[in-house]
Chain A
Amino acid sequence: MIMDDPEFLSCGWLSNPGPNHEIVLSTRVRIARNVKGFPFSHWASTGELARLVSSCSAAVRKTSLLRDSEEIHLEEVNDLDLSFLRERHQISSEMVHSQNQRSVFVSNDQRVAAMVAEEDHLRLQVLQPGLDLKSAWGICNTLDDEISKHLSFAYCERLGYLTACPTNVGTGLRCSVMVHLPALVMTRQIQKMINAVSQLGMTVRGPSGEGSEIKGNLFQISNQVTLGVTEDEIIERLSNLTEQVIEMEAKAISQLMDEAEEDIEDRVFRAYSILTSARKLNSKETLELLSPVRLGIRAGLLKEASLNAINEVFLCSRPAHLQKKAGREMGERERDIFRAQFIRDRFKPSAC
């Protein structure tokens, strides 16, 4: 079964360096589509949902990108697998709670996914390492074109693609980038950045959309507006904005290095020592340690570890990823021990 395939479970796609990968961990693009003539998923009867799922699945199967992909039926997988897919953003939190008839197609390289009977009938998603909105949108657009040959979508000239929630109507396009901004946080410029971004029709939030808690200085920037703009405008605006944020963060790093190099160095190496020698690490502490280590690599202070390894550890040290790696369910204590072991192995000089 695919959910036990080591290839599928690996985070290989994230560890390939993408454009601007010093600051941008990953890019995600997804579009929402609904089939004409049906109520939205949450409002559909069991019979309607079954017909919807079969016509969506048949259309997905006809695309060149997902023809050979594995279809994961959510009612057939266990809670751990659901959390794993959730950590990877291949299902939404809503799908974790209602798996009835829902399924997700994931390409062999894990970058392309089609989620069926989500909030919208069909959500197509492409992940890329680094800042790569254009190519991610290109792939997503092609997939949409191919599926459009076999399905009529709910669409009208005035409002574009009609979605279950009016915040997605129009293009149905949501793009986001995951950025690591420790220097903006340390130099207290993060608030300024967040204010500026929200004035441009974009949103900033902490990772996994869990409200506003800042974890490991990782932030997700995404477009809020989907109607009244073209897909290319959304992509271009978010790309330009992210480039400005990258510039701000890079400047903040130089400022930190000019004003307090020894202090930064001290923090970086302390974090690195704990990370590579601790015998127990919980997820929160791991994120807090990974952040200065990542900063140290970017600032050229730490040559022992690579950014690719760090990016991979950011995702793969999360609870469900660890348990899938171990091949069994683990309690918190066992997980923390396993996590510390996994990180020590990953940062062995030979592994980088």
Chain B
Amino acid sequence: MNGKKCGTCTKPAKIHVTQIQDGQVMDVSLCPECAQKYGFMAPITEMSVPLNEIISGFNAGEEAAPVSGLPSTETKTCPACSQTFRGFRDSGRLGCPACYDAFEPELEPLLRKVQMGMVHHGKTHVPQKDETSLIPMIQQKKEDLRQAVAEENFEVAARLRDEVRNLEKELNQ
């Protein structure tokens, strides 16, 4: 198949299809452009979720008119995990569940574009109160708290201390 040329232009053929014309089965070799033109292949955007394109492209319009005084969308940071909105756009991944609140206005147009509604209609999750579910979380927060204290990051430490207290209260209920 190597070196075969497109049946309608001179570019190298990449797609080999079979078609029926007047009751005859014919093999046709086409370049990707011609294949698309004659309907043998869907444009790439329709064949797969162009996820990164959607994520990196959907905010382009808003950036043109930044609101002065407010932090720009690019540098907006999630207070819980310090992932930036820019980081999300580059990687396609949020940093933590709290990012959904932190970037709510920025995520809205994306969700409108790829989803069918803005509110969950599916299965409900009843949070578990047994040990196995809360203990690892409390351990984690305590670990983070130790580190924050060691780094003299007292603002974060105070927040973590409250969170640990609340979780422990929840556990003992």
Chain A interface (Cβ within 8 Å of chain B)? Answer: 34-40, 42-43, 47-48, 51-52, 54-55, 58-59, 119, 141, 144, 148-162, 164-167, 169-171, 173, 185-188, 190-192, 194-195, 198, 201, 203-206, 209, 211-212, 214, 224-231, 233, 256, 259-260, 263-264, 266-267
Contact = CB atoms under 8 A, between A and B. Distances in A.
Contacts of B119: 158-159, 227-228
B9 interface: no
A201 to B, nearest CB: 6
A52 B143 CA distance: 14
Contacts of A48: 140
Nearest to B138: A37
B158 interface: no
B3 interface: no
B94 A259 contact: no
A157 B120 contact: yes
Contacts of B127: 36, 152-153, 155
Interface of B: 15, 17-20, 23-25, 39-42, 44, 46-49, 51, 81, 83, 91-97, 100, 107, 110-111, 114-128, 130, 132-134, 136-137, 139-141, 143, 167
A192 B134 CA distance: 51
B46 A195 contact: yes
A284 to B, nearest CB: 9
A145 B14 CA distance: 47
B48 A170 contact: no
Nearest to A34: B97
A152 B49 contact: no
Given A38-B137, A194-B46, A159 B120 contact: yes
A205 B119 CA distance: 28
Contacts of B120: 157-161, 170-171, 227-228
Nearest 8 Cβ contacts at the A-B interface: A228-B117, A160-B120, A37-B137, A263-B25, A154-B97, A171-B122, A228-B116, A212-B47
B100 A169 contact: yes
B123 A188 contact: no
Nearest to B134: A152
Contacts of B24: 260, 263
A156 B119 CA distance: 10
B114 A38 contact: no
Nearest to B93: A164
Contacts of A149: 128, 130
Contact of A148 (B118, B122, B126): B126
Contacts of A167: 49, 51, 114
A206 to B, nearest CB: 7
Contacts of B100: 156, 159, 162, 166, 169
B94 A209 contact: no
Contact of B137 (A36, A148, A158, A186): A36
A233 B43 CA distance: 28
Contacts of A260: 20, 23-25
29 contacts: A36-B137, A37-B167, A38-B140, A39-B96, A52-B136, A149-B128, A158-B120, A159-B100, A169-B111, A169-B115, A170-B120, A186-B18, A187-B20, A190-B40, A194-B47, A198-B46, A203-B48, A205-B47, A211-B48, A214-B15, A224-B114, A225-B116, A227-B120, A228-B118, A228-B119, A231-B123, A233-B121, A260-B24, A267-B18
A152 B115 contact: no
A166 B110 contact: yes
Contact of B20 (A34, A166, A169, A259): A259
Contacts of B110: 166
A174 to B, nearest CB: 10
Contacts of A153: 125, 127
B133 A152 contact: yes
Contacts of A192: 39
Contact of B17 (A38, A185, A263): A185
